[in-house]
Amino acid sequence: MKKIAVFTSGGDAPGMNACIRAVVRSSLFYGLQVYGIYKGYNGMIAGEIKELHSQSVSNIIQRGGTILKSARSEEFKTKEGRAKAYENLKTHGIEGLVAIGGNGTFTGAELFHAEYGIPIVGVPGTIDNDLYGTDYTLGFDTAVNTALEAIDKIRDTADSHDRVFFIEVMGRDSGYIAMECGIGGGAEIVLIPERDDSIDNVISTLRDGFNRSKTSSIVIVAEGEEIGNANSIARLVKNKLKQLDIRVTTLGHIQRGGAPSGYDRTLGSRLGLAAVEGLMKGMSNVMAGMVNNQLIYTPFGDTIRKKKQINQDLMRLVQILSI
Ligand code: F6P
C-alpha cells in the first residue's frame, strides 16, 4: 500500500482533528502518501481530494470541528454515488481509507468495501459514545465537559430562583452524555432511552423532593428519551405540579464544538496511528477502538449492529445519588 486517504463523516466531534493529524503524520512516518477527502462521502463523490503534508496538519490538534469538513451524504446511499466515489479514488491511486465517524459512516463503509473491496479502517468519532467496540468515542469526553459547564451555570440560576430545570443534552438514540452529565452535574433525575422511564416517576420524585423542602432541581433529559423531549416532559410535569416554577434549556450543538479535552486529543492520536497501522497490516472493514485501555479492532458489522451496553454501575450510581 502506497497511498491512503482520510475523511471525516457524520456529526463532527472534538478530537477529529487530532486524529486526522495522527493519520497524516503516521502515514508519512511509514513512507505512505496521504490524501484528505473533504466533506465526507459527498467529497469522495465530487472528487474533493487533496494530498496532505506534515504542515497541512500543523496547529490543529487543539481545534474542535474537523479541518476536512463533514457531511451526512444521501448520494453515497445510491449505487451511482458509490460508483463515482470509487472512480475518484482510482484516479488518485488511493488504495486504503481511514473513515472517522459514527454508525452511518461505517454502514456506508461496509457497503463500499463489499462492492469494491477497498480496505477501510474506521475510527469512532461521535459525541454520542454509542458505538460497540470502544469504551469511548472521539468527542464524548469533551461534549460531557462542555455540557457540564453549562449545567453548572444553570444550577446557579435554578438555585437563586428556586426553580426546576429540564436540561436536554444530545444523544440521538443513546443516554451516555445524559448519564455522565447527570452524575457530574448532580442532577436529581436523569432520563435516558436505555431505561424504562415514566412521567409518573418523574412527578413523584420531584414531588417528594419538594415535600422534603428541596428548593431547586435539575432533570437531565437525553435527546433520544422515549417518553418525550425536555419541553413536552416539562409541560406534563407542570400540569400535575402547578406549584413548581419550571424552565427548559436545550443545550444543542454547543456540545459538538470547542477545543477537545486532553483525553480526546490522546484518543484521537492513538486511534489515528492504529488505523494506519491496521491498514498496513492488511486489515479492512474494521473499527479501531479502545476497550479497557487496550487497542482492539472490531468488524464494522458488529460496531453497526451490536448494541453497546450502558454501564450498569453508572446507572446504579445515577439512581442512588439522584434521590
Ligand atoms: O453526531 C451526533 C449528534 O450530535 C447527535 O447527538 C444528534 O442527534 C445529531 O448528531 C444531530 O445531527 P445534526 O447536526 O446533523 O442535526
The ranges assigned to domains in the chain are: 3-139+260-305, 142-256
Q: Compute the distance from residue 44 Cα to the ligand 1 centre, in Å.
A: 21
Q: Give the class (CATH, top level) of 142-256.
A: alpha beta
Residue 322 pLDDT more than 80?
no
Q: Compute the distance from residue 12 Cα to the ligand 1 centre, in Å.
A: 9
User: How deeply is 72 buried, as exposed, middle or buried, from its count of CB atoms within 10 A (0-12, 13-18, 19+)?
Assistant: middle
128 catalytically annotated: yes
* Residue type at 23 in one-letter notation: V
Distances (CA, A) of 21 to 15, 58, 101, 131, 318: 10, 8, 15, 22, 37
Residue 194 pLDDT more than 80?
yes
- If one residue of 127, 173, 250 were mutated to test the ligand 1 pocket, choosing by the most ligand atoms within 8 A of its CB, it would be 127
Which of the following CATH numbers is that of domain 3-139+260-305: 3.30.1050.10, 1.10.10.60, 3.40.50.450, 3.50.50.60? 3.40.50.450
Instruction: Give the pLDDT score at 321.
Output: 86
Shortest-distance atom of ligand 1 to CA 139: 1
Please indicate, yes or no, whether the overall pTM of this predicted structure exceeds 0.85.
yes
Shortest-distance atom of ligand 1 to CA 11: 1
127 lines ligand 1 (CB under 6 A): yes
Instruction: Give the pLDDT score at 319.
Output: 80
**What would the mean pLDDT of 104-109 be, rounded to a whole number?**
98
